[in-house]
Amino acid sequence: MLENIKLDTEYVRSQFPAFDDAVCKDWVFAENAGGSYVPRTVIDRLTHFMKSTKVQPYAEFDMSKMAGENMDRALNYFAKIINAKKNEILIGDSTSNNLYVLSNALGKSIKKGDEIIVTNQDHEANISPWRRLKEKGAIIKEWSFDKKDGELKLDKLKKLLSKKTKIVAVTHCSNIVGSVNNLKLIASIVHKYKAILIGDGVSYAPHGFPDVKELDVDFYTFSLYKTYGPHVALLYGKEKILKKLPNQNHEFLNGMYPYTLNPGGANHEALASLIGIYEYFYKMYDHHFSNTKLGIRKKISKINELISQHEEDIANPILKYIDQRKDLTLIGKNKISNKNRAPTIAFFSKKHSSKKISKIFVKNKIATRNDNFYAWRCLKNLDINPRDGVVRLSFTHYNTIEEVKKIIKVLDKI
Ligand SMILES: Cc1ncc(COP(=O)(O)O)c(C=O)c1O
């Protein structure tokens, strides 16, 4: 763990123009699991693309060359950030879209009687596309989480796996329970059955970009609009599997993986602006650390540690507060330690509807909401009405302890 170095939130917040913006500045922003603010570096890259290089990329003229170079740079950086190869990642419209495209491709080889395991803890984005393969004759098995603590238990998974299992789809972190699932361990179990593991990293990645090789997942996706970027999403796939997937793009692109997976290309300006995320993390590293010789992945790991420590510091007091209130039910663990939980905190009241509580927060300029957050199976398993849903407070590294104290003060009055 890091000694004596703490995340400099003043510096961090100075990188995000939203905190000085007339519309946003009076708000405590606690809906980060829905989408994060973006740093200036991303806005500048987006503006640069739109102003100077908004032409068809990869031609010989300057503007076009620069556009293509910036798009390629963004892909290269992101490949390094998550420890993948450039031809193992693609940028799609959203995680939901990425997973539908992937299920369509993987579904081509699904035969009657093949088995697919999905959870009921996931966001629907990593459930529906796989459940739909029932149309191909697949048998869908549900890995149900424990109602008491909200956790997915490995012994249950082991009972569901068989020689017929082809796909297992699991979230790296639940957007309701907040728990981080041990994907590395899950991958080692799933691979014993030669099945493919699909990880949903949407609620995990904003709290530290993962090393996909270390996790050994076969596919992994997360939404870049929740990791300080524009509204697009990254999909990683192991090269050896991507290579074999059917071409879903134009016929002449046969063999040109990963472009074969997604019909059409990525949003150019959004892709180019991803350089800004890399620049932001780089700046953060340089602000906090002095060793400039480390590679990108090592620098990302160090930033991840700083972020985790800060998130623990701000989330643990409110987790404790909610957990101790007899009229409130906290979902998931009541403490973060060793990154076992994200600072995504869902709860409900025994006295008031979630909508009412959310309205009180909004009245007090705390940006949050009540919903099922598309994890309606998760809510159903917890016997919560998915229409009223839960109240969710979701923090990220730019939130402060002062903001958390303000939220607790408002909760005190409810
Ligand atoms: C855990 C999780 N997975 C998947 C998604 C879907 O992401 P997208 O909006 O990019 O389709 C979300 C969106 O909130 C999510 O929270």
Which pLDDT tens digit goes with each residue over 196-209?
A: 999 999 999 999 99
For residue 178, report the distance from its CA to the centre of ligand 1, in Å: 14
Query: Is the pLDDT score of 1 beyond 90?
Result: no
Mean pLDDT on 372-397: 97
Confidence class of residue 3 from pLDDT cuts 50, 70 and 90?
A: low
pLDDT of residue 297: 95
For residue 154, report the distance from its CA to the centre of ligand 1, in Å: 24
Question: Ligand 1 in contact with 95 (CB < 6 A)?
Answer: yes
For residue 69, report the distance from its CA to the centre of ligand 1, in Å: 29
End-to-end Cα distance, the chain: 38
Question: Ligand 1 in contact with 221 (CB < 6 A)?
Answer: no
- Residue % of the chain over a pLDDT of 70: 99
Chain length of the chain: 414
Per-position DSSP letters for 366-401, written without gaps between them:
EE-EEE-TT-HHHHHHTT--TTT-EEEEE--TT--H
Query: Is the pLDDT score of 187 beyond 80?
Result: yes
Cα 51 to Cα 265, 267, 317, distances in angstroms: 21, 16, 45
- Residue % of the chain over a pLDDT of 90: 99
Q: Domains of the chain (ranges plus CATH)? A: 9-38+297-413 (3.90.1150.10), 45-276 (3.40.640.10)
Question: What pLDDT, in 10s, does the model give residues 26-45?
Answer: 999 999 999 999 999 999 99
Q: In 179-312, which ranges are E strands?
A: 196-200, 219-223, 233-237
Mean pLDDT on 363-372: 97
Question: Ligand 1 in contact with 175 (CB < 6 A)?
Answer: yes
**Residues in CB range of 389: below 8 A, 6 or more apart:** 354, 370, 371, 372, 373, 379
For residue 290, report the distance from its CA to the centre of ligand 1, in Å: 36
For Cα atoms 334, 313, 23, give the angle at the middle one, nearest 5 degrees. 100
Long-range contacts of 243-246 (CB under 8 A, 24+ apart): 245/105, 245/106, 245/108, 246/105, 246/108
Query: If 0-12 CB within 10 Å is exposed, 13-18 middle and 19+ buried, where does residue 104 land?
Result: middle
Q: Residue 318 and residue 15: Cα distance in Å, rounded?
A: 26
Distance of CA 411 to the CA centre of its chain: 28
Place of tokens 């472009």: 259
Mean pLDDT on 97-120: 98
Question: What pLDDT, in 10s, does the model give residues 240-279?
Answer: 999 999 999 999 999 999 999 999 999 999 999 999 999 9
Distance of CA 273 to the CA centre of its chain: 18
From 175, 198, 376, the mutation candidate for ligand 1 (largest count of ligand atoms within 8 A of CB) is: 175
Q: Residue 401 is which amino acid?
A: I
Q: Is 345:330 a contact under the CB 8 Å cutoff?
A: yes
Query: Is the pLDDT score of 2 beyond 60?
Result: no
Question: What pLDDT, in 10s, does the model give residues 55-88?
Answer: 999 999 999 999 999 999 999 999 999 999 999 9
Question: What pLDDT, in 10s, does the model give residues 285-341?
Answer: 999 999 989 999 999 999 999 999 999 999 999 999 999 999 999 999 999 999 999
Q: Residue 404 and residue 72: Cα distance in Å, rounded?
A: 39
Question: Ligand 1 in contact with 372 (CB < 6 A)?
Answer: no
Q: Residue 161 and residue 168: Cα distance in Å, rounded?
A: 9
pLDDT of residue 4: 80
pLDDT of residue 276: 98
pTM above 0.85, yes or no: yes
Q: Is 215:184 a contact under the CB 8 Å cutoff?
A: yes
**Please, what is the average pLDDT of the chain?**
97
**Residues in CB range of 226: below 8 A, 6 or more apart:** 32, 33, 34, 35, 36, 202, 203, 205, 206
